[in-house]
Amino acid sequence: MPHQFRLHRVAPTLAAVTAVATAVLGLTLSTRAAGGPGPDAGGEGWAGAGMPEAPAGRMLLGAPGGYPVTGIDVSNHQQDIDWKKVADKGAKFAYAKATEGTHFDDAEYRDNLSGAKRNGVYFGAYHFARPDEGGGRSQADYFLDRAQYTNDGHTLPPMLDIEWPYKWKGKYVADSPCWGKSKSDLVKWIRDFTERVRERTGSATMIYTNPNWWNPCTGKSTAFGRHYLFVSSYTDKVSGLPAGWDHWTLWQYANHGKLPGDQNVFNGSLSELAALASNPMGPMPKLVVGDWDGDGTMTAGLVTPSGEHWRWRLTNQRGTAPVAAGGADPLLTPDLDFEYGDVEKAPIVGDWDGDGTWTPGTVDSEGKRHDYYLANGFRPGPSDVHVGFGDIEDVPLVGDWDGNGTFTPGTADADGKRHDWKFTNSLVDPKTEVKLSVGDAEKTPVVGDWDGNGTWTPGTVDNDGERHDYYLVNSLTATTAEIHLGFGDVYTVPLVGDWDGDGKFSVGAVDASGTAMRWLLSNNLLGGDLPDLAFRYGETGILPDPQPSPSPSPSASPSGTPSASPSPASASKPIPSAGPGSPSPSTSPSAKPVLNQRPVVPKM
């Protein structure tokens, strides 16, 4: 199915980085395309690639009756696409492959994204899953770093294409049909992927699959029914669904037709499709941390869209020692509530004038460089400072690199084996003044003042284990990490900041698995499991898990061999999923969803 997609505006993706409360605007920006295929495949997967008879498939001259909203999914296999012609022939939506595994970037993705949106086609990106190549979390990051996802009202939820292995040069790319994995391994893989998508975008995942793969390979898992279903069924109607779903959102009914690529329909009206693109799950707030009152202590903040601008809700309250089991940590309230900045730009925070108080800013990463728009107060209106710095392919950061109290831009380049860092000490005609190479490029960049000397230095966070592992350096000439610690469950959002005003940054985590975000902060760099401060601040937007119905409707589970005609679907016309008032899917009930963010580096 879908191939690869890049991130659109960096805003949603940046969310994670925003959370990294370090002056590093650890936005999840798109990175350079991979150099080539992996050792065992050339990125040949597409939606339906694993079905043995998919190439033969079937062709219909028109969409199935009763579904007027039609669309396509495409990849590099379709090569150049005339998107004006696609729109003129009635397609209202499209998914395009962005990535596969951790080795393949679809060469046609950017053109597909721009062409579809330019011609008014609702557009989404998809990732062809390769459970044989690495974890779901790392593949979600690989995908989102390239997909250019943005909640702009025209972008569909990120899609995961999970199906049978396909053949490459006469051999299956992995053990078929379940990628050589156990049922529990695959369920965990899918959960890790969908939770990471939720963490970084605020959206549920569109899952493309087929009951004949899903039911036997996941053990009929019902854990993902609150995500969107894109079902493949090359038949006249959909008569069987994967376990866990009672209706579908998209249906791939043929693998070729009058339009390029696979032929699809949406289960609803055009207005319902627009609603899906406008509110894929109600993105959770982006997290920021900073010193909003100049007292030397960093506290929490939430940033959410409000029309065309960002709404900032910042608190100067700190919380208390963690409450014992069965109790409730204090619920904080905002001390500042205002709007600032274009929602198409990524929110950041920092001390732009050296007065000790952190204020808002945004970063536009759509041109040839990163453009910063910085305010020296808490108010709407134009920026006080506009400065451009850094290669658009690199991650934008901000921090105090020379200890003078004023924050300035920087970047981290993850194109090689190590992060290449570049910093400037000026907000006027900035030039690169500091360069260093340190930190595994596979890890997330963060910055902060780890030793309290007033100068910010780099670090990285590894989010692939059971906890967040930090690797930090105390100088701008270091080549290896000087501090290593672990803190925070991997399903939380990592943070860095100075929580007690001692001048030294430490770590923290935000647990977004419930309806309220729980902030857990440590005042040291020793690691461990026990926070020094805990509080609740911000709603996650996660709905309580629905109560099971007395007699749940059975979900189809024909676990036969894959065929080009996956079992047909429900007898009655399914209800369109994910309208604003409908029970739109969310992260799987059994998993801990994370915010749409990467490590929260104090947004500087």
pLDDT tens digits for 242-262?
Answer: 998 878 999 999 988 889 999
Residue 272 phi, psi (nearest 5) = -70, -35
Neighbour tally for 570: CB within 10 Å: 20
Q: Which two tokens stand for residue 44?
A: 């040949």
Whether domain 10-280+563-593 has CATH 3.20.20.80: the reply is yes
Task: Indicate the range of 277-281, 399-403, 472-476 predicted with least confidence.
Answer: 277-281
Cα distances (Å, whole numbers) of residue 128 to 96, 137, 466, 540: 11, 14, 25, 28
Q: Say how far apart CA 599 and CA 461 lie, in whole Å.
A: 7
Q: Say how far apart CA 540 and CA 522 lie, in whole Å.
A: 22
pLDDT digits (tens, 9 = 90+) for 356-379: 999 999 999 767 899 999 999 999
Q: Do 69 and 91 form a contact (C-beta atoms < 8 A)?
A: no
Q: Would you please indicate which residues are annotated as catalytic (active-site) residues?
A: 73, 161, 163
Of the two residues 461 and 26, the one the predictor is more confident about is: 461
pTM above 0.75, yes or no: no
pLDDT digits (tens, 9 = 90+) for 46-58: 454 455 444 344 4
Angle (CA) 3 60 177, round 5°: 45
Neighbour tally for 431: CB within 10 Å: 9
Q: Quote the strand ranges of 156-298, DSSP E.
A: 159-161, 167-168, 171-172, 206-209, 228-232, 250-254, 262-266, 286-290
Q: Say how far apart CA 40 and CA 147 lie, in whole Å.
A: 23
Q: Say how far apart CA 392 and CA 84 lie, in whole Å.
A: 29
Coil/strand/helix, residue 114? helix
Task: Indicate the range of 206-215, 277-286, 322-331, 591-600 predicted with least confidence.
Answer: 591-600
Q: Do 21 and 497 form a contact (C-beta atoms < 8 A)?
A: yes
Q: Say how far apart CA 361 and CA 344 lie, in whole Å.
A: 13
- Taking alpha carbons only, the member of 512, 513, 530 closest to residue 521 is 530
According to DSSP, the β-strands at 159-161 and 206-209 are parallel
Per cent of the chain over pLDDT 90 is 56
Per cent of the chain over pLDDT 70 is 76
Q: Say how far apart CA 281 and CA 388 lie, in whole Å.
A: 33
Task: Indicate the range of 195-199, 217-221, 238-242, 326-330 predicted with least confidence.
Answer: 326-330
Which pLDDT band holds residue 2 (cuts at 50, 70, 90)?
A: very low
Question: Is the four-CA dihedral 16, 18, 19, 21 of positive or negative sign?
Answer: positive
Q: Say how far apart CA 294 and CA 235 lie, in whole Å.
A: 65
Region 583-604: what's the mean pLDDT?
36
Region 144-166: what's the mean pLDDT?
93
Task: Indicate the range of 143-157, 406-420, 576-590 predicted with least confidence.
Answer: 576-590
Q: Which two tokens stand for residue 339?
A: 């709007």
Position 176 pLDDT exceeds 60: yes
Q: Which range has highest mean pLDDT (109-118, 197-206, 277-286, 595-604)? A: 109-118
Instruction: Return the pLDDT at 572.
Output: 29
Query: Rounded to an integer, what is the distance from CA 533 to the centroid of its chain?
Result: 28
Q: Say how far apart CA 256 and CA 78 lie, in whole Å.
A: 11
Instruction: Return the pLDDT at 238.
Output: 86
Instruction: Return the pLDDT at 51.
Output: 53
According to DSSP, the β-strands at 171-172 and 359-364 are unpaired
Q: Say how far apart CA 369 and CA 426 lie, in whole Å.
A: 16
Position 121 pLDDT exceeds 70: yes
Instruction: Return the pLDDT at 333.
Output: 96
Q: Do 178 and 217 form a contact (C-beta atoms < 8 A)?
A: yes
Position 6 pLDDT exceeds 70: no
Q: Say how far apart CA 572 and CA 67 lie, in whole Å.
A: 13
Position 566 pLDDT exceeds 90: no
Region 444-461: what's the mean pLDDT?
96
Q: Which two tokens stand for residue 418?
A: 């190590």
Position 272 pLDDT exceeds 60: yes
Instruction: Return the pLDDT at 513.
Output: 66
Query: Rounded to an integer, what is the distance from CA 403 to the centroid of its chain?
Result: 33
